[in-house]
Amino acid sequence: MPRRKRPDHHHVYVVLLSERVWNEPAYRKANPGHDVLKPCLYVGMTGLDPDLRFDKHMAGVQANRFVLKYGVRLMPELYEVYNPMPYEAAREMEVELAIGLREAGYGVWQA
């Protein structure tokens, strides 16, 4: 009998990026309202455990270029409350979380 995937196994996650990411023109352009007192972040979604996904980014496996170059650590305090969830909910939450964090003054990259 084939194994069935759990329907609620997707996650949103947030990565703290080094402030050096601010030197990247694309990142700056995406964050015109960034409060310099708040950190720069990457928001993503995955069907993996966020810790494993972060490790893959840092190893260059399906990595976002900003996470690969500037990733510092996960920030579970900004996302744990939402996980786990179904795929479609995670897709929507990735966008909503990025918008909310950007509106709160964080620098955010969400691909």
Give CA–CA dist 88/37, Å, rounded: 33
% of the chain beyond a pLDDT of 70: 94
pLDDT in tens, 50-86: 999 999 999 999 999 999 999 999 999 999 999 999 9
Domain boundaries defined on the chain: 11-110
Query: What pLDDT sits at residue 39?
Result: 98
Query: What pLDDT sits at residue 51?
Result: 98
Look up residue 17 and give its two tokens.
Answer: 């990026």
Instruction: Give the contacts of 59 (CB within 8 A, at least 6 positions apart).
Output: none
Contact 10, 88 (CB under 8 A): no
